[in-house]
């Protein structure tokens, strides 16, 4: 794999990757401290691909970006519903009154998450963590916060959108961008491929160095997201190996096929290790060290439990593990 740059573009600055495609970053207040965003030139302005978190800091940085552009924003595309991607989509799309593009599942899930629990009980969240084997103090900590998290960092999502579908062609400024849907990291993640320029905007579906989080969260505990991911990765090996890949995190790179193989291999290794550890009955919590070598903060615990659950669901569906509920209401997994 080859990186096209040595370091991240500074927040507030623009770098031209190829003619008509610009790269910028926005800061994130997490361990992963940045997100890459892209601008595509169209006839009448620039189309934004992903937007950063909905914070005043990101808004101020966007203002400095807008001031550097030779023409206005004429569209907003969001690859998927996660807050660092959709955060300011509504703010930008509604301010400029321009089309807002998303896939259908991502759009409506974003609308639902923005609305929160809407008065429903959080008992199902509690049950999800209980079945994973977490202790009651941690469960209380992870489930008592209400559901304000999403809308506190996502500006109101526009109330109408243009639906993106797999294989759809979008034309901007004489260039054609093909929509390729990836699943697993999020339900209907949009990637964009420009054949003429040989450029893939991969969002969070394909990342260098780090692996996209593949989780089964409390919203859908039985989700087979790892299967979704492993079945929607190989299609990217049909694109040229020398494609320039523009990911949402870390640096733009060349080496798409190698990265797809590495991501598949990474999950296969985790599946084998989990399968092996289950020669005796195990709970999800007891299996976390098999997948994660470092100490987990409570924020990371949410992702770690979901990632482990997704792998265990995969092994159960494939018949490699048997799952049962023990007398304390905790799932136990054992090899078949």
- Among 81-89, 110-118, 285-293, 310-318, the segment contacting Zn ion (CB under 5 A): 81-89
Please work out the total of residues on this chain that contact Zn ion, with binding judged by CB under 5 A: 2
Q: Indicate the residue among 5 and 30 with the shorter CB distance to Zn ion.
A: 30
| Number of helices and strands in the chain (H, E) | 11, 16
Give me the torsion for CA of 200, 204, 208, 213, rounded to 10°.
Answer: -150
CB of 55: closest distance to Zn ion in angstroms? 17
Residues with Cβ within 8 Å of residue 214, at least 6 apart in sequence: 184, 185, 225, 226, 229, 267, 307, 310, 311
Q: Which is nearer to Zn ion, 41 or 205 (CB)?
A: 205
- Scanning 82-90, 100-108, 118-126, 148-156 for contacts with Zn ion by CB under 5 A, the matching segment is 82-90
Alpha helices in 207-255 (DSSP H): 225-232
Query: Is residue 183 a contact point for Zn ion (CB under 5 A)?
Result: no
Using CB under 5 A as the binding rule, whether residue 41 contacts Zn ion is answered as no
Q: How far is the CB of 190 from Zn ion (least distance, A)?
A: 12
Distance CA 205, CA 184 (A): 8
Which of 186, 282 has the CB closer to Zn ion?
A: 186
Piece in contact with Zn ion (CB under 5 A), picked from 74-82, 86-94, 234-242, 272-280:
74-82
For residue 82, state whether it binds Zn ion (rule: CB under 5 A).
yes
Q: Is 204 in the site for Zn ion (CB under 5 A)?
A: yes
Nearest distance, CB of residue 130 and Zn ion, angstroms: 26
Cβ closest to Zn ion, residue 175 vs residue 204: 204
Residue 204 or 228: the one with the smaller Cβ distance to Zn ion is 204
Edge to edge, what strands does the sheet with 73-77 contain? 15-18, 21-27, 34-42, 45-49, 73-77, 100-103, 162-164
Stretch that binds Zn ion, among 63-71, 75-83, 153-161, 277-285 (CB under 5 A): 75-83
Q: What is the DSSP string of 185-200?
A: SSTTEEEEEETTTTEE
Give the rounded distance of the alpha carbon of 162 from its chain centre: 20
Which of the ranges 53-61, 128-136, 197-205, 229-237 carries the binding residues for Zn ion, by CB under 5 A? 197-205
DSSP 142-167: HHTTTT-HHHHSSPPPPS--EEE-TT
Q: Which residues bind Zn ion (CB under 5 A)?
A: 82, 204
């Amino acid at each position: 794999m080859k990186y096209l740059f040595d370091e991240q573009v500074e927040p507030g600055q623009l770098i031209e990757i190829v003619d008509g495609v610009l790269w910028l970053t926005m800061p994130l207040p997490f361990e992963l401290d940045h997100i890459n965003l892209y601008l595509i030139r169209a006839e009448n302005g620039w189309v934004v691909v992903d937007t950063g978190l909905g914070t005043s800091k990101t808004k101020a940085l966007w203002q400095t970006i807008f001031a550097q552009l030779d023409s206005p924003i004429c569209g907003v595309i969001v690859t998927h519903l996660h807050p660092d991607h959709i955060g300011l989509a509504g703010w930008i799309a509604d301010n400029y009154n321009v089309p807002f593009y998303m896939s259908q599942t991502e759009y409506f899930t974003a609308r639902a998450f923005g609305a929160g629990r809407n008065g429903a009980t959080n008992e199902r969240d509690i049950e999800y963590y209980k079945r994973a084997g977490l202790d009651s103090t941690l469960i209380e900590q992870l489930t008592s916060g209400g559901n304000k998290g999403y809308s506190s960092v996502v500006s109101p999502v526009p109330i109408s959108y243009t639906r993106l579908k797999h294989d759809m062609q979008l034309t901007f400024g004489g260039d054609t961008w093909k929509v390729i849907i990836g699943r697993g990291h999020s339900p209907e993640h949009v990637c964009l491929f420009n054949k003429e320029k040989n450029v893939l905007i991969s969002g969070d579906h394909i990342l260098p160095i780090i692996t996209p989080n593949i989780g089964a969260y409390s919203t859908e505990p039985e989700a087979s997201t790892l299967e979704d991911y492993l079945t929607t990765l190989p299609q990217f090996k049909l694109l040229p190996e020398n494609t320039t890949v523009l990911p949402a995190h870390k640096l733009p790179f060349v080496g798409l096929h190698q990265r797809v193989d590495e991501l598949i291999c990474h999950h296969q290794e985790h599946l084998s290790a989990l399968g092996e550890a289950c020669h005796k009955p195990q709970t999800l919590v007891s299996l976390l060290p098999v997948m994660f070598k470092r100490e987990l903060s409570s924020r990371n615990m949410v992702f770690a439990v979901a990632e482990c659950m997704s792998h265990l669901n995969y092994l159960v569906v494939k018949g490699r593990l048997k799952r049962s509920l023990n007398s304390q209401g905790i799932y136990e997994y054992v090899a078949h």
